[in-house]
Amino acid sequence: MTEPATSDQHERGSFASRRVFILAAIGSAVGLGNIWRFPYVAYENGGGAFVIPYLVALLTAGLPFLLMDYGIGHRYRGSAPLSFRRMHRGGEVLGWWQVGICAVIAVYYAVIIAWAVRYTFFSFDHSWGEDPNGFFFGDFLQVAEQPSVGLDFVPGVLWPLLLVWIAVLVIMVAGVQRGIGAVAVVFIPVLVVAFAALVVRALFLPGAAEGLDALFTPDWGALGDTAVWAAAFGQIFFSLSVGFGIMITYASYVGRRTDMTGSGLVVGFSNSAFELLAGIGVFAALGFLAQANGVAVNEVASDGLGLAFVAFPTIISEAPAGALIGVLFFGCLVLAGLTSLVSVIEVVISAVRDKLALTRVAASLVVGIPTATVSVVFFATTTGVPILDTADHFINRFGILLVAVCSMVAVSWWFRDLHTIRAHLNEFGSFPLGTWWSALVAVLAPIVLTYVLVQELVDALDEPYGGYPDWLLNWFGWGAAIGVVLVAAVISALPWSRRTSLEIPEEVHR
């Protein structure tokens, strides 16, 4: 049963029901990383044995932090900056830090969706020919020989990117329920059915069993490697959409009496189930590719752009009914990407709305048009790929993980609000949280993630990422990660609109 919306909910917008909220949250969590990152991470870190540290990470860090995000948004009823500000005067900067991370992600995430749109149609006639790698980086993206920044636009990327941004702006202007909620209700079931069909088709390819053996054969010795455990905790945070304001924002759009702990369990386990499904589908297809070319699976296994736009086109060209596999695979990338992009950009729009007291339409345009412009200028050009690769690597590792650690420590030890959040979640939650939950959020998760961060920092200082020149890493890598913190501090110092109440909404006290 859906409870009546309060005046605050009506003004900000709200999801029509708990079901819509759960679908929207799953849509945010299930993104490109589930499809092209998890299978390879699992393969590289012990195969079947990786499931153990992965589940431990999910239960001891991923879900506890997800529930903390839910508790913050649901209790304080605002965007990430406003929710943190209502919690503690010094907390606003954490919210704007998360908003900045989302803004950076949005400008490059959209272009990958645009590539997937084109490749959905390329799948019909195998436009990449005999050399998918050369086609992707050469004919399609026309990547410049040396990393640089330029305005040499690639029409084949520019037009689909503009279409992606137009679609996103229409969704955002439509609002929380009619835009974000409606997209989730339609796209998530379609995504699950389409990907399940892809997995079934992949399982019947010759060599599929060899691919699954490569993925799931357990290397029990890997369990003694701290790097494997670090990889598991890192993967959980990358895939659950925690630590950068999305779940805080979405939780602020649901009714006061909503079961948030039960919802969190559904979202967390659904995300992990999709990752395992992705692993099965991807490695079944890679097993076929390995057998068809007479090589071992480890010679064709990859993640990221190499998997999606090089390995899979090769599979599509050689597999029976390859066009169907291509349409399903790239169609799933488009659907998963769009639901995630919508959630990322909503974090920014919601924050701007709260800070400046703007209407939904005004905030969507104020945020959407500049973001789309930056996206087109930097990533629809021949020089966009190295910039995208660098920004994605650094903002994920030294943005999301770092702000997650800082948030947990601040909420637990500086604001001392963890007990209040736990009590709020337990009031209507179907899964009770005890002191064990507080210990996981306040102690265990920050320690493990700090270890992951230190390892990442050591690796980054040891060897320049991707072999890129220092100026590129300094501007678009370290510069992006540090810049969002500085911008967050500046925006936090600016006054709020007089029409924005910094007090906790009255319905929370009822």
Distance, CA of 442 to CA of 319 (rounded, Å)? 50
- Is the pLDDT confidence value at 7 over 90? no
Give the angle subtended at the CA of 284 by the CAs of 278 and 289, to the nearest 5°.
Answer: 125
Helix, strand or coil for residue 497? Answer: coil
* Residues 33, 39, 43, 48, CA torsion sign: positive
Residue 1 domain flag:
no
Residue with more model confidence, 292 or 241? 292
Q: What is the dihedral of CA 375, 400, 33, 66, to 10 degrees?
A: -130
> Distances from the Cα of 70 to the Cαs of 81, 253, 313, 438, in angstroms?
14, 11, 39, 14
Q: What is the pLDDT of residues 169-206, one digit of tens each?
A: 999 999 999 999 999 999 999 999 999 999 999 999 99
Q: In the numeric block, which tokens belong to residue 29?
A: 């969590």
Token code pair at residue 469? 């020149």
Tokens of 255: 């009714």
C-beta atoms surrounding 419 within 10 Å: 11
Helix (H) or strand (E) holding 451: helix 445-462
Would you give the DSSP letter of residue 4? P
What does the alpha-carbon distance between residue 275 and residue 281 come to, in Å, rounded to a whole number? 10
pLDDT at 5 over 50: no
Please calculate the CA angle 55-445-237 and round it to the nearest 5 degrees.
Answer: 60
Question: 442, 336, 398, 308: which is closest to 104 by C-alpha?
Answer: 398
Rounded Cα distance, 340 and 246, in Å: 10
Three-state DSSP at 496 gives: coil
Mean pLDDT of 402-422: 95
This model's pTM is above 0.85: yes
The values of phi and psi at residue 102, to 5°, are: -65, -40
Does residue 105 sit within a domain?
A: yes
Rounded CA-CA distance 274/38 in Å is: 10
- Give the model confidence (pLDDT) of 453-464 as tens digits: 898 888 888 888
pLDDT for res 11: 67
Mean per-residue pLDDT, 492-509: 85
pLDDT at 33 exceeding the cut of 80: yes
Asked if residue 341 belongs to a domain, the reply is yes
Residue with tokens 């899964």: 431
Task: In whole angstroms, give the CA distance from residue 287 to residue 262.
Answer: 38
Rg, C-alpha atoms of the chain: 22
| Closest-CA residue to 122 (of 340, 314, 278) | 314
Contacts of 359 (CB under 8 A, 6+ apart): 353
Residue 481 structural domain = 7-509
Long-range contacts made by residues 85-89, C-beta under 8 angstroms, separation at least 24? 85/496, 85/502, 86/502, 86/503, 86/504, 87/411, 87/415, 87/417, 88/410, 88/414, 88/415, 88/417
The pLDDT of residue 113: 97
User: 320-331, pLDDT tens digit by residue?
Assistant: 989 999 999 999
- Widest Cα–Cα separation across the chain: 68
Cβ neighbors of 39 (< 8 A, separation 6 or more) are 215, 278, 279, 282, 283, 303, 307
pLDDT per residue over 413-446, tens digit each?
999 999 999 999 999 999 999 999 999 999 999 9
Report the share of the chain in percent with pLDDT over 70. 97
Question: Is 387:380 a contact under the CB 8 Å cutoff?
Answer: no
CATH number for the domain that contains residue 171: 1.20.1740
pLDDT for res 509:
53
Q: Which residues contact 392 (CB under 8 A, 6 or more apart)?
A: 105, 108
Structure-token pair, residue 171: 């969704």
What is the DSSP code (8-state) at residue 140? Answer: I
Per-residue model confidence as pLDDT tens digits over 264-293? 999 999 999 999 999 999 999 999 999 999
In the 8-state DSSP scheme, what is residue 126? T
Quote the CA–CA distance of 401 and 457 in Å, as a whole number.
12
What's residue 169's pLDDT? Answer: 97
Instruction: State the amino acid at position 423 in one-letter form.
Output: A
Residue 1, pLDDT above cutoff 70: no
Q: DSSP secondary-structure letter at 381?
A: B
End-to-end alpha carbon distance in the chain: 19
Q: How would residue 398 be classed by pLDDT, with cut points 50, 70 and 90?
A: confident
Evaluate whether residue 27 is within a structural domain.
yes
Q: Is residue 382 part of a domain?
A: yes
Residue 406 lies in a domain: yes
What is the overall mean pLDDT for the chain? 92
* Cα gap 437→431, rounded to integer Å: 11
Task: Provide the pLDDT for residue 227.
Answer: 83
Query: 417 lies in a domain?
Result: yes
For range 27-31, the mean pLDDT: 93
pLDDT class of 316 with cuts at 50, 70, 90: very high
Alpha-carbon gap, residue 223 to 45, rounded angstroms: 9
Question: What span, in angstroms and rounded, lies between the C-alpha atoms of 97 and 266?
Answer: 28
Is 2 inside any structural domain? no
SS3 133: helix
* pLDDT of 10: 53
Task: Domain count for the chain, please give it.
Answer: 1
